[in-house]
């Protein structure tokens, strides 16, 4: 398997965690989002993923895109070390927590969006940071409320082993910390994040541990 990745991409980070949790080896193909005006925007990469976003996963010649779809695929095609519960309600809970990150938080802080705010709308650095902090804080507060209220929350987001929800939560917490968001506001998330990052699968997926890290 080949993973088109960028060390600091939070969506790529999710897939790296999932691959590691499942014990699947892969070759990292770095796509630098800032160099050369963005390598993801070049025709060569658009031929891999017309959306010009990382990650993309090449499994035996078929290219898959969208981190959540990739993780679900890995879990279906390589069933050892499941990342999803077996019951439909549990699966719905894990998916919705993952999508709370993937749909409600992450798209608003993506590089291309922050660039648009600055270039097209003339946002200042302060405006941009406030925008980022606003959406991340609002999104994490909603996830915290869900996790804190549910008896299904365990050592991890859903029970006592990591699921797809944890694969999405940890990179989002990493990003929140980069923007100095105080995680003490979100004690359940902070506790789960701490439990995750001590596992080698999560630690090895960290941006600083990637071959293209700067």
Q: Is residue 88 close enough to count as binding a copy of itself by CB under 8 A?
A: yes
Region of 20-28, 32-40, 90-98, 198-206 interacting with a copy of itself (CB under 8 A): 90-98
Positive or negative, the CA dihedral 89, 92, 98, 100 is negative
Q: Which helix (H) or strand (E) holds 28?
A: strand 27-30
Q: Is residue 151 close enough to count as binding a copy of itself by CB under 8 A?
A: no
Window 2 to 41, contacts with a copy of itself (CB under 8 A): none
Residues 6+ apart with CB under 8 A from 98: 68, 71, 164, 165, 167, 168
Given a contact cutoff of 8 angstroms between Cβ atoms, the answer to whether 150 and 143 are in contact is no
**Interface pick for a copy of itself out of 26, 82, 131, 203 (rule CB under 8 A):** 131
Q: How far apart are CA 175 and CA 153, in angstroms?
A: 22
Q: Is residue 50 close enough to count as binding a copy of itself by CB under 8 A?
A: yes
- Residue with Cβ nearer a copy of itself (123 or 190): 123
Given a contact cutoff of 8 angstroms between Cβ atoms, the answer to whether 197 and 172 are in contact is no
Q: Is residue 113 close enough to count as binding a copy of itself by CB under 8 A?
A: yes
CB of 68 to a copy of itself, least distance (A): 6
Pairing of strands 2-5, 27-30: parallel
Q: How far apart are CA 163 and CA 7, in angstroms?
A: 22
The Cβ of residue 114 has, within 10 Å, a number of other Cβ atoms equal to 16
**Interface pick for a copy of itself out of 12, 15, 70, 176 (rule CB under 8 A):** 70
- Residue with Cβ nearer a copy of itself (102 or 195): 102
Q: Is residue 51 close enough to count as binding a copy of itself by CB under 8 A?
A: yes
Window 165 to 204, contacts with a copy of itself (CB under 8 A): none
Region of 22-30, 43-51, 176-184, 191-199 interacting with a copy of itself (CB under 8 A): 43-51
Residues 6+ apart with CB under 8 A from 20: 200, 201, 202, 204, 205
Which residues make up the interface to a copy of itself (CB under 8 A)? 46, 50-53, 62, 64-66, 68-70, 72-73, 76-77, 88-89, 91-93, 95-96, 99-100, 102-104, 106-108, 113, 116-117, 120-121, 123, 127, 130-131, 134, 139, 141-142, 145-146, 149
């Amino acid at each position: 398997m080949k993973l088109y990745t960028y060390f600091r991409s939070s969506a790529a980070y999710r897939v790296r965690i999932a691959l590691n949790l499942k014990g699947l080896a892969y070759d990292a193909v770095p796509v630098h989002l800032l160099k050369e005006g963005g390598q993801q925007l070049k025709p060569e990469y658009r031929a891999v993923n017309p959306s010009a976003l990382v990650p993309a996963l090449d499994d035996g010649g078929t290219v898959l895109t969208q981190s959540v779809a990739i993780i679900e695929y890995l879990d279906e095609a390589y069933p050892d070390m499941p990342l999803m519960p077996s019951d439909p309600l549990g699966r719905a809970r894990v998916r919705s927590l993952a999508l709370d990150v993937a749909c409600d938080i992450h798209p608003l802080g993506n590089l291309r969006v922050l660039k648009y705010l600055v270039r097209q709308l003339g946002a200042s650095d302060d405006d941009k940071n406030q925008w980022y902090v606003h959406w991340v804080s609002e999104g994490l507060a909603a996830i915290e409320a869900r996790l804190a209220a549910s008896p299904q929350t365990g050592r991890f987001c859903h029970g006592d082993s990591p699921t797809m929800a944890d694969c999405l939560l940890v990179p989002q917490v990493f990003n929140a910390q980069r923007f100095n968001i105080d995680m003490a506001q979100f004690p359940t998330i902070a506790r789960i994040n701490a439990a995750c990052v001590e596992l080698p699968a999560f630690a090895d997926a960290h941006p600083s541990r990637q071959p293209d890290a700067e």
